[in-house]
Structure 1
Amino acid sequence: MSGEGDHLHIVAADDISAARRNFGRALVWGSAGLLLLVAALQTLDSAGQIDLGFTTWRPTLYAYVLWAVCLCAGQVIARGEHGKRSLFVLPAALFVVSMVVFPLIFGVAIAFSDWNLASPDGRKFNGLANVRQMWSDPFYWNALTNMVWYTLAIAVEYAIAFGLALLLNAQIRARKFFRVAFLLPLMLSPVAVSWMIGKSMLEIRFGPIARFARWIGWESPSFFGSPEVARAMIMMMDAWTFIPFMMIMILAGLQAIPRELQEAARVDGASAWKSFWELTFPLMLPVSITAILIRIIFKLKLADIIINITSGGPGGATDSVTSFIFREYRDRSNVGYGTLLAMVYLVLIVIAMTVLMKLADRWMRPRY
């Protein structure tokens, strides 16, 4: 019976004629050729080489949809039952191509063009001019440097989150209440945090924190006047928002550790510190590294708090790359240069995250 059951998962080859197979292939390749032809004609029209009267990229979109339908139909016609199996994957892959790959290609084309929305000339190809401008732009490199400092602050956030998770995992009174209370900042959006704390509580004239600072002797408290203090305040507000995220992940990992291990270590005479350093912390490495990597991804997108409170000031001291690119779009309407900065930042993120994930995998790999 087991042998017969295994045959249920085997798809026999369909008896497909050569004419049917050729028709399916012709349908796929013919629609692909039509898509390439329409895309080439529209590219030449967009570059001003020919004038076909295209105002949008809808013809290419329609040709892509036609190719997608013909590709799915051609798979079934040419491959039969095996082609039907591919329909479980093809629509999702085609959707990803349309929503990710095509916009990425279009973004690369914009990155190497001079396109300012305030200019009546429209978009023009300018080669490597944007690259040279980026290379000599001190504000962009300053934003990248700030991102290094913002990312390094995650080490402090992790230590605080681990300490809070240990506290909430212990048998303390009102533990459930504190768990909910510590999660409240995570429920707020960064925009709400920036207005509630940065624009209200830290306001120089009437903010309660500023009044308290004057009461204890700080004559003119300015939380965003100097570069170092402003950068530190941005770090603290962002940390206050996202430390609960790391805390809840670490707390889940701590609760998954069997209590028998800790009790055995206690019976063997291990101190609390030795039990933590040699038992709890190594067991928490996978969860900790996962939490840190996810936090780094969120940190690399830091923009909301900066845009709402300082707009990158004073003098670009608090700028992140994302907030700088946002202001390049909003304030200067420089779409071409802003897109190039975003593309370069995307490449840097991919490289950095790939290296970090490889290092994390090597670190967590057991050594025998």
Structure 2
Amino acid sequence: MHQSLPIADDRHRKNARQRARQANLGRVLFLIASLAFVVVLLIQVLHASGAIATGFSDWRPVLYVYLVWGITFGLRQVLLHGERGWRALFLLPAVLFTVAVVIFPTLFGFYIASLDWNLSSLDGPRFYGLGNIIGLFHDTYYWNALRNMVFYTLAVLGEYAVAFGLALLLNADIRGRKFFRIVFLLPMMLSPVAVSWMIGKSLLEYRFGPAATLARNLGWDNPAFFASPWIARLSIEAMDAWVSIPFIMIILLAGLQAMPKEVLEAAKVDGANGWQSFWHVTFPLMLPVSITVLIIRIIFKLKLADIVINVTAGGPGGATDTVSSFIYRVYRDRSNVGYGTGLAMFYLLLIIVLLSLLMRLSHRWTQKVT
């Protein structure tokens, strides 16, 4: 019995030394792969920017080294953590894919934003530092587009109110409920580009469009829906809302159908009328669903561009411009890749800050109400 204890201790020490050697090997391999990846990436970035003459003809070596780095990272996890490392390997492809298609393009976008790169120039890209970011602070058209986005984003609350009303209607026991559910979902099945031409270019056409003809018969002398700034904004918002309200409605309808019926029946037994039952029972219970669909809708609203580009091209005088449509014109009309990317990166940072604040405030509000 006493002799078996030293043998067990020796085995334990040997296993510990073996694990330590494996861990050190994993760290060394990962360090070498990381240094190689950083060196190859730095050489290619400097070569692409014209800072050095030595480099690669394309970005394939960077991709190859990145794949080797990913394999080495997985090997490191196995050598360091054993069984836990093997389990972590199942997440590695998703992590590498996210880095490749999200993080790296974002970092590359910041790199392009630091260049003075105009496709119409024969000089090619050259390093410009923070020049593009400084320039956007003096761009009145960009800030006008940002102000328009405040209006379009706040209009989401109106879309939510209409969608909630439709969801309550379709959740009630009314005749033809299935038919109306299909009819109200039809706008969501259309492309925003099709809506732009069907409504913006046809229905609201100021000479022969049906809406313009009806407005003229009602006494509007010059029914131009896209000539006045505020009427143009409201027309763009109406078209976008017509496409998007069904999406909000179907999510809210799903939430209403998932609500426990016993709670509503208890409210009726307690003597609550329709409004009290909605405000004190239905709305608080629907708050998590409402916040989720509002945040998703705001994200889509912040990308609004296609309807504006096809109907008004930002006019009149930038009154209907969104940030996305303005950036599109910077690329298309000015061929200014560096400045357009700088505008997009700055807008991305604003979106991240806005959504972070919204999620934090909504979490606090949900806790307070519920």
SS in 1 for 2:220: coil
Structure 1 residue 265: deviation in Å? 2.4
2:364 maps to which residue?
A: 362
Contact 1:168 1:179 in 2 (8 A): yes
Contact 1:153 1:235 in 2 (8 A): yes
Structure 2 residue 321 is matched with structure 1 residue 312: no
Output the CA distance in 1 between the equivalents of 2:256 and 2:81: 51
Q: What amino acid is aligned across from residue 339 of structure 2 in structure 1?
A: Y
Contact 2:284 2:369 in 1 (8 A): no
2:189 maps to which residue?
A: 187
The percentage of counterpart residues that share the same residue type is: 59
Output the CA distance in 2 between the equivalents of 1:199 and 1:283: 42
- Among residues 28, 31, 37, which one is paired with 1:29 in the alignment? 31
Output the CA distance in 1 between the equivalents of 2:296 and 2:176: 29
Output the CA distance in 1 between the equivalents of 2:27 and 2:264: 64
Q: 1:161 to 1:34 in 2, by over 3 A?
A: same
Q: 1:238 to 1:54 in 2, by over 3 A?
A: same
Contact 1:130 1:340 in 2 (8 A): yes
Output the CA distance in 2 between the equivalents of 1:278 and 1:75: 52
Structure 2 residue 153 is matched with structure 1 residue 151: yes
**1:273-302: per-residue Cα shift (whole Å, max 9, x none)?**
222222222222222122211111111111
1:203 maps to which residue?
A: 205
**1:216-249: per-residue Cα shift (whole Å, max 9, x none)?**
3323210111111100000101111111111111
198-207 or 321-330, larger mean C-alpha shift: 198-207
Structure 1 residue 47: deviation in Å? 3.3
SS in 1 for 2:334: coil
Output the CA distance in 1 between the equivalents of 2:190 and 2:15: 57
Q: What are the ranges of 5 or more consecutive residues in structure 1 without an aligned counterpart?
A: 1-12
Q: What amino acid is aligned across from residue 172 of structure 2 in structure 1?
A: A
Q: What amino acid is aligned across from residue 218 of structure 1 in structure 2?
A: W
How does 1:68-83 map onto structure 2 within 5 Å? 68-77=70-79, 79-83=81-85
2:325 maps to which residue?
A: 323
Aligned length: 356
How does 1:219-230 map onto structure 2 within 5 Å? 219-230=221-232
Q: 1:346 to 1:161 in 2, by over 3 A?
A: same
Structure 1 residue 17: deviation in Å? 5.5
1:352 maps to which residue?
A: 354
Q: 1:116 to 1:267 in 2, by over 3 A?
A: same
2:10 maps to which residue?
A: none
Contact 2:44 2:55 in 1 (8 A): no
Structure 2 residue 287 is matched with structure 1 residue 281: no
Structure 1 residue 36: deviation in Å? 1.7
Output the CA distance in 2 between the equivalents of 1:153 and 1:209: 22
How does 1:239-258 map onto structure 2 within 5 Å? 239-258=241-260
308-317 or 54-63, larger mean C-alpha shift: 54-63
Structure 1 residue 53: deviation in Å? 5.0
Q: 1:270 to 1:77 in 2, by over 3 A?
A: closer
Q: 1:291 to 1:74 in 2, by over 3 A?
A: closer
Contact 2:164 2:252 in 1 (8 A): yes
Structure 2 residue 341 is matched with structure 1 residue 339: yes
Output the CA distance in 1 between the equivalents of 2:289 and 2:116: 46
Q: What are the ranges of 5 or more consecutive residues in structure 2 without an aligned counterpart?
A: 1-13
2:45 maps to which residue?
A: 43
TM-score (ref. length: structure 1):
0.91
Q: 1:26 to 1:259 in 2, by over 3 A?
A: closer
- Among residues 47, 55, 58, which one is paired with 2:57 in the alignment? 55
64-73 or 339-348, larger mean C-alpha shift: 64-73
70-79 or 275-284, larger mean C-alpha shift: 70-79
SS in 2 for 1:153: helix
Q: 1:233 to 1:14 in 2, by over 3 A?
A: farther
Q: 1:273 to 1:80 in 2, by over 3 A?
A: closer
Contact 2:155 2:237 in 1 (8 A): yes
Structure 2 residue 113 is matched with structure 1 residue 107: no
Q: What amino acid is aligned across from residue 73 of structure 1 in structure 2?
A: L
Contact 1:325 1:341 in 2 (8 A): yes
1:297 maps to which residue?
A: 299
Structure 1 residue 78: deviation in Å? 5.2
Output the CA distance in 1 between the equivalents of 2:19 and 2:147: 64
1:169 maps to which residue?
A: 171
Output the CA distance in 2 between the equivalents of 1:352 and 1:14: 52
Output the CA distance in 1 between the equivalents of 2:276 and 2:286: 15
Q: 1:347 to 1:80 in 2, by over 3 A?
A: same
Structure 1 residue 51: deviation in Å? 1.5
1:138 maps to which residue?
A: 140
